[in-house]
């Protein structure tokens, strides 16, 4: 931080600087931050292209709702990574001299709002996707008749507005986001907390994040158990159920990535809010958990890129060939999800005797 011996008016940014300093063994360079941001933007762009293309092709309601929510999640990750990454690179390039380039604290407020929104909104969307799939599998008639694309868009808008409201709470309460000890990011006040309102913001953020992860876990568990029960009870229309299994595998991937990346940071914020641990003693650990959380925005899109049926089919074939096992009946794997759906629709329109003949021939 640059210093000046001359007497100058105290800027708002100087009052928001943390009184503690976070001594890091290895500081991130600007080049690493740029590479980190570029990888995240490219990954999310690829996932957005894949999801939007799939959303335009699929006309099944149960699939389009999931793809709509998944596209919204990846788009949120994209803009969160773009905005937060750009500000972080600018801070590093400016030698973290907040008093010089952010005298009015506008940039820090924008940074803090984006940090909270880009953290909570993907977690909310992940839980909403899990709820939507749980209803689609356990209550298919209710899902097909009551949950329309319009309803999904309304729920999507509600989740986004709620995340924005939580991010704006400090501003509405005439509180400012605070520059953290590492001078590289802005968030709620985390050191020398003496006001109940500052603790409330931290505890609210941690509670909502952990609640979203908990809802996702419960709904995905119910969905997985229901699909396994149906699989063991009957083997009819296994092609139609493969769509559900594909979506559930992707949901499990999202949930695992979110839990691994976000749980340490959420628990740390809850511990600071409840005064279980002092921020001065956990500054480096907090910064490490924050970097883990930012990896969620890079790993989320790869869940959709890698855990698609076509990719899993190719991995299955390659694995069997590498193990020296002869691949049998490759025609069982459909060429695409669209052909798969068309086949199920065609079988459902045939008489019962012809259905049996079709299924035994495959």
Q: What is the domain range of residue 230? A: 25-318
Is position 272 within any domain? yes
pLDDT of residue 246: 73
pLDDT tens by residue, 145-195: 888 888 889 999 999 999 999 999 999 988 889 998 888 899 998 887 888
46 in any annotated domain: yes
Percent of the chain predicted with pLDDT > 70: 73
**pLDDT, position 305:** 76
What was the pLDDT predicted at 66? 82
Mean pLDDT, residues 307-333 taken together:
63
pLDDT band at 4 (very low <50, low <70, confident <90, very high): very low
Residue 279 · residue 272 · CB < 8 Å: yes
d(CA 322, CA 73): 36
Domain count, the chain: 1
More confident residue, 113 or 14: 113
What is the pLDDT at residue 133? 87
pTM across the whole model: 0.78
Cβ atoms of residues 178 and 189 within 8 Å: yes
Q: Give yes or no for residue 334 having a pLDDT over 50.
A: no
Quick: pLDDT tens for 230-252.
777 765 444 445 566 777 788 88
Question: Is the torsion defined by CA of 167, 169, 171, 177 positive or negative?
Answer: negative
Q: What are φ and ψ of residue 17, in 5° steps? A: -70, 140
Q: How confident is the model at residue 142 (pLDDT cuts 50, 70, 90)?
A: confident
For 343-355, write each residue's pLDDT tens digit.
443 444 444 444 4
- Assigned token pair, 289: 């958990």
**339 pLDDT above the threshold of 80:** no
What confidence tier does 205 reach under pLDDT thresholds 50, 70, 90?
very high
Domain assignment present for residue 92? The answer is: yes
- Which residues are CB-contacts of 114 (< 8 A; sequence separation ≥ 6)? 80, 83, 84, 87, 167
Question: Which residues fall within 8 angstroms of residue 18, CB to CB, at 6 or more apart?
Answer: 178, 179, 180, 181, 183, 190, 191
Percentage of the chain exceeding pLDDT 90: 26
d(CA 71, CA 79): 12
Non-local (6+) Cβ contacts of 65 within 8 A are 132, 136, 147, 149, 152
- 91, 183 in Cβ contact below 8 A? yes
Q: What is d(CA 342, CA 348) in angstroms, rounded to the nearest whole number?
A: 10
Domain assignment of residue 339, yes or no: no
Residue 359 falls inside a structural domain? no
pLDDT value at residue 17: 58
Closest CA to 290 of 205, 175, 196, 192: 205
Q: What is the mean pLDDT of residues 85-108?
A: 89
Q: What is the pLDDT of residues 251-298, one digit of tens each?
A: 888 889 999 999 999 999 998 888 876 655 567 788 889 989 988 888
Q: What is the CATH number of the domain that holds 77?
A: 1.20.1070.10
Crossing angle of the two packed helices 283-306 and 238-273, in degrees rounded to 10? 170
Question: Would you say residue 134 lies in a domain?
Answer: yes
Q: Is residue 17 part of a domain?
A: no
Does some domain include residue 9? no
């Amino acid at each position: 931080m640059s210093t000046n011996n001359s007497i100058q008016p105290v800027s708002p940014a100087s009052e928001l600087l943390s009184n503690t300093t976070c001594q890091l063994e290895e500081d991130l360079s600007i080049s690493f931050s740029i590479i980190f941001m570029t990888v995240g933007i490219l990954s999310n762009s690829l996932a957005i292209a894949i999801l939007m293309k799939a959303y335009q092709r699929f006309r099944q309601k149960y699939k389009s709702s999931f793809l709509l929510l998944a596209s919204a999640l990846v788009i949120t990750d994209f803009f969160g990574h773009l905005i937060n990454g750009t500000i972080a690179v600018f801070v590093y390039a400016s030698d973290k001299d907040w008093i010089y380039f952010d005298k009015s604290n506008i940039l820090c407020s924008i940074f803090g709002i984006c940090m909270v929104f880009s953290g909570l909104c993907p977690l909310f969307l992940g839980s909403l996707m899990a709820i939507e799939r749980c209803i689609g599998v356990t209550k298919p008639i209710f899902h097909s008749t009551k949950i329309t694309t319009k309803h999904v868009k309304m729920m999507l808008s509600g989740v986004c507005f709620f995340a924005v409201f939580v991010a704006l709470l400090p501003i509405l309460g005439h509180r400012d986001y605070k520059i953290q000890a590492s001078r590289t990011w802005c968030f709620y006040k985390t050191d020398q907390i003496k006001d109940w309102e500052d603790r409330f913001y931290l505890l609210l953020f941690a509670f909502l994040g952990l609640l979203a992860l908990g809802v996702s876990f419960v709904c995905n568990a119910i969905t997985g158990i229901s699909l396994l029960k149906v699989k063991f009870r009957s083997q009819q229309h296994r092609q139609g159920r493969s769509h559900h299994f594909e979506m559930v595998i992707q949901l499990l991937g999202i949930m695992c990535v979110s839990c691994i990346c976000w749980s340490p940071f959420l628990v740390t914020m809850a511990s600071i809010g409840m005064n279980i641990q002092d921020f001065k003693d956990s500054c480096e650990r907090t910064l490490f958990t924050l970097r883990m959380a930012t990896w969620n925005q890079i790993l989320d899109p790869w869940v959709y890129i890698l855990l698609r049926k076509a990719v899993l089919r190719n991995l299955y074939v390659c694995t069997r060939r590498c193990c020296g096992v002869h691949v049998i009946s490759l025609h069982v794997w459909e060429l695409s999800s669209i052909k798969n759906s068309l086949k199920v629709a065609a079988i459902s329109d045939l008489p019962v005797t012809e259905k049996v003949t079709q299924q035994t021939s495959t």
